[in-house]
Amino acid sequence: MALALSFDKLVLVGRDAFRLKALQGKVERRGCQAVISSDLVQVRNADVVITATSAPRAIIKSEHLKQSAVVFEVSQPRNVSESLVKQRPDILVIDGSMASVPKNIRFWWMSLPPQHTFGCMAETILQAITNDDRHHVGKVDFSFMGVIAERGRAFGFPAAEFTSFNEKIPPEKFLEISSR
C-alpha cells in the first residue's frame, strides 16, 4: 500500500465490492484519488500495475497492459506469465516483495535467485530471531513495516535488488522504460 500511495490516482480492481469500497475509503483519506472496478480492463491505462492477489494462475493478459507498463508483481503464484513479457518486451515486470538473505542461508526448495527469499519468509525469520511472537496477518501495520525493514538491515536481510522472473534487472532497462 505504501508504494501505491505514491501515485496521484489508483484504479483498484477486485472481486469483492465491499472490500474494494473500504480500501477506496482508506486510500482517499490519505489524499489519493481511487476508482474501483471488478474489471481488469480498467488497468489498461495504468503506467504502473501492482498485483496482490491469491489467484492460482496468471490473470494479467497483454490486453490489460498499456505500452511500456511496469508491473510490480507481489502475488505468488504470479499474476503475469513470463510468456507475456516475451510477447511484449515493452513491459517490465518486477518481482515484488523480495529480500536478500545472508550468504550462509539457502532456500533450495524455492525457485529464486541465490541469496533471495520472499519478503514474508524474511519477516518470519526476523520475528523468530528477535523473539517477536506477535501476529501480523491481515490489516497492514505500517509502523511494523518500518520495524521489519530496520531488523532486516541489522540482521542481513535487506530488500533485494530488483529482478524480473528471477533475473537481475539491468539499470539500463529502467532508463529505457522511463524514457518512453
User: What's this model's pTM, rounded to 2 decimal places?
Assistant: 0.83
b/e string for 127-156 if b means 16 or more Cβ within 10 A? beeeeeeeebeeeeeeeeeebbbebbeeee
Going from the C-alpha of 28 to that of each of 16, 24, 89, 135, 138, the distances in angstroms are 18, 6, 34, 27, 20
Provide the residue-wise pLDDT of the chain in tens; the chain has 180 residues: 555 557 778 889 988 899 889 989 988 888 888 899 999 999 998 888 988 888 999 999 999 999 999 999 988 889 999 999 899 999 999 998 899 999 888 887 778 888 899 998 999 999 999 999 988 777 777 788 889 999 999 999 998 999 999 999 998 888 887 777
Residue 151's pLDDT is: 96
Which pLDDT belongs to residue 1? 53
* Long-range CB contacts for residues 119-128, cutoff 8 Å, separation at least 24: 122/148, 122/152, 122/157, 123/148, 125/157, 126/151, 126/152, 126/155, 126/157
Q: Could you check whether the bond before residue 102 is cis, i.e. omega within 30 degrees of 0?
A: no
Q: Which candidate, 86, 45, 69, places its Cα nearest to that of 177?
A: 69
Secondary structure of residue 81 in the 3-state scheme: coil
Write down the pLDDT at residue 127. Answer: 95
Decide if 120 contacts 145 (C-beta within 8 A).
Answer: no
CA distances from 97 to 7, 8, 17, 30, 75 (A): 19, 22, 26, 23, 9
pLDDT for residue 3: 58
